[in-house]
Amino acid sequence: MQYEVEVKYKLEDVEHFRKVLEEKQAEFVNTMEQEDIYLSHPCRDFGKTDEAFRIRRIGAENRLTYKGPLVDQETKTRQEIELIFGAEKESAIQMQTLLEKLGFQAVQPVHKVRHTYHFTFEEIIFEIVLDNVSNLGWYIELECCVDADEQEATSKKILKLAEHLGLGPDVERRSYIRLLLEQNQ
């Protein structure tokens, strides 16, 4: 079983943080646009169960992702199951239609431009992303995927990495979809 170990922070000065990553010799990987359609379950409230279900488009690639409830009080660590399915926008539309026929409902799109870096810290390769989220602004996420038996130790290491990079103690535990929904209320 795979877990995504993650911490996220609101980023006020993106250019300063790009310089920090350069000074620490983080490896720039790429920049991409991502479009997420979050779906609500017909029988349970994902907001209450702290789960998420989405269709993500990255260029021509489509992914269906389930994220389980958070497993600790400090990070955004949770089980993640992700499947890649048919390419191009038409496949994403067909998947959304299929899920809506089964009772799921589209909640809100989340659009972001993601700048991805890799950084090795305490023998783990972490992904560091700078996200420019439409209608929310800039955020930074530190993340990696590990097996269940490595989850607790990796959660501690990711918090040490955040400190190493000069990020404060205020982890943003809410998802982008939750932030957008709260903003719209």
Active site residues: 38
Q: What are the C-alpha distances in Å from 149 to residues 2, 6, 107, 125, 153? A: 10, 16, 34, 17, 8
Residue 48 has which token pair? 């209450």
**Residues 44, 165: Cα–Cα separation, whole Å:** 38
Closest CA to 133 of 157, 109, 153: 109
Chain centroid to CA 29: 17
H helices within the chain, ranges in order? 14-23, 46-49, 88-101, 151-164, 176-184
Name every residue whose Cβ is closer than 8 Å to that of residue 49 and which is 6 or more positions away in sequence: 69
Residue type, 82: E
